[in-house]
Amino acid sequence: MAETEQQPQLYLISPPELELTQFPDTLARVLDAHAIACVRLALDTRDEDRLSRAADALRAVTDARDVALVITDNVPLAERLGLDGVHLTLPGSVRAARKVLGPDAIVGAFCGGSRHDGLSAGEAGADYIAFGPVQGHDADDDSFAEAELFQWWSEVIEIPVIAEGNLDRAQIAALAPYTDFFGIGAEIWGQDDPAAALTALLADM
């Protein structure tokens, strides 16, 4: 596949903790201000009740706007709640998730900066591959997905790719020709106005 001709789409990642009396309204404002392709529920908990209540609250927002909702790793809950799919942090579990959720579900895989893991997940049936973070947290941190990986993927592989983690305006501008989606979460949720923060983040794209 040649360099991405169209502008990358947006994929939102929820905070690891969220307040259900407030976050759905915040999410709604972001979805109303920007064209979002998918929302990922990525809570830092395994509590089924908390996850279920959060999924129901977010789905009321996403369904009303025809936006897909996936959940991180929890295949049984995705099936039970009838969510649009699952985002897997263990790319080796793609085939098993697909078997449970069926051919129409979204099954995505996070592969860090590993080309091999991305290819393996794609061969197993992943609908998209996510690479990241796109830069280290400081000058000594070299554990990130390099721009060359996205460029190579866009030229050789047809499976959509997401760039996520530690994004800023410069990274978004640099990666826009080579990625299909930007996965954005922590970059905006801590701001007073996440919708405006997202607008600013995308200003150079």
Residue spans of the domains in the chain: they are 9-201
d(CA 111, CA 67): 24
- Stretch 101-108: mean pLDDT: 98
- Inform me whether the pLDDT recorded for 190 exceeds 60: yes
- Residue 6: the pLDDT is 81
Is-contact 205 7, C-beta < 8 A?
yes
In this predicted structure, the answer to whether residue 2 has a pLDDT above a threshold of 50 is no
CATH number of 9-201: 3.20.20.70
Please state, for a pLDDT cut of 90, what percent of the chain lies above it.
Answer: 92
Contact 39, 65 (CB under 8 A): no
Residue 48: pLDDT above 80? yes
- Over residues 75-97, the pLDDT tens digits come to 999 999 999 999 999 999 999 99
- pLDDT value for 205: 87
Rounded to whole angstroms, the Cα distance separating 109 from 135 reads 19
Q: Which of 18, 193, 149, 139 is nearest to 39 (CA)?
A: 18
Does pTM surpass 0.85?
yes
